[in-house]
Amino acid sequence: MKQKSVYLNTRWIGYFLIGMGVFFFALALFAQVISPTTNTLPLEQTILFRLIFLASFGLPALVLLIIGGIVLFRNSRKRKREEALKAHGKKIQATNLTIESSNVQVNRQYQMYLTCTYQDKKGDYFLFKSRLLRLNPLPFLGDEVTVYVDPEKQQDYFVDIEGSMAKVYE
C-alpha cells in the first residue's frame, strides 16, 4: 500500500506540457522532412508553406516546452528547499491548527492550506502557512505540527504536515 499524500501534486502539469511540446515539435519537424509526391506548387511557395507550418507548430511547441520546464524546475527547487530546511532548519512545534480555503479550484473544489501559530520565548507570535493540500489532514494530526524554519531568514519555512501526521494509507 502507498502512503497517502496530503499535498497537491502539480508535477504532472509540467510533464504534460513538455509532452505536448515534444508532440508539436515532432509534428513540425516531420512536415519539414517529408517530400510531397504530387506537388503542383512552385518550389518557393512550397518552402514558404513549410516555414509557415514550422513556425505555427514550432513556436507553440517551444512555449509549451519552456512553461513545462519552468513548472518542473520550480517543483524540484521547492522540494530541495524543503529537504534543506529539514536537514539544517530549526525545528519548532506550532499549534492552533486551522484549515483555510484558497482561491485555487481543482475539480470544482477549492483547495486548502493549513495555518498554524508559534509563540517564541519573547511572546511574539509567528503565523505559518502550508503549501496547498488536496485533503483535510486535521483528523490525522494531533494538536501540533512540525515547522522547519531557516534560522537566518524567518520567512523561509516549511510546514511538515506529512511528517507530523499518523501513517495513512490509500
> Which of 81, 101, 124 marks a domain boundary?
81
**pLDDT above 70 covers what percent of the chain?**
94
Does 4 map to a domain? no
Contact 7, 65 (CB under 8 A): no
Question: For the residues 125-132, what does the mean pLDDT come to?
Answer: 90
23 and 59 both lie in a single domain: yes
67 and 128 both lie in a single domain: no
19 and 54 both lie in a single domain: yes
pLDDT for 2:
66
What is the value of pTM for the model shown?
0.76
Helices 43-88 + 11-33 axis angle, to 10: 160
Exposed e or buried b for every residue in 132-149, given b needs 16+ CB within 10 A? bbebebeebbeeebbbbb
Positive or negative, the CA dihedral 7, 8, 10, 12 is positive
Structurally, how many domains does the chain consist of? 2
**What would the pLDDT profile of 19-69 be if each residue is shown by its tens digit?**
999 999 999 888 887 776 666 778 788 888 888 888 999 999 999 999 999
* Domain with 18 in it: 11-81
67 and 126 both lie in a single domain: no
Does 154 map to a domain? yes
pLDDT for 17:
95
77 and 104 both lie in a single domain: no
Does 3 map to a domain? no
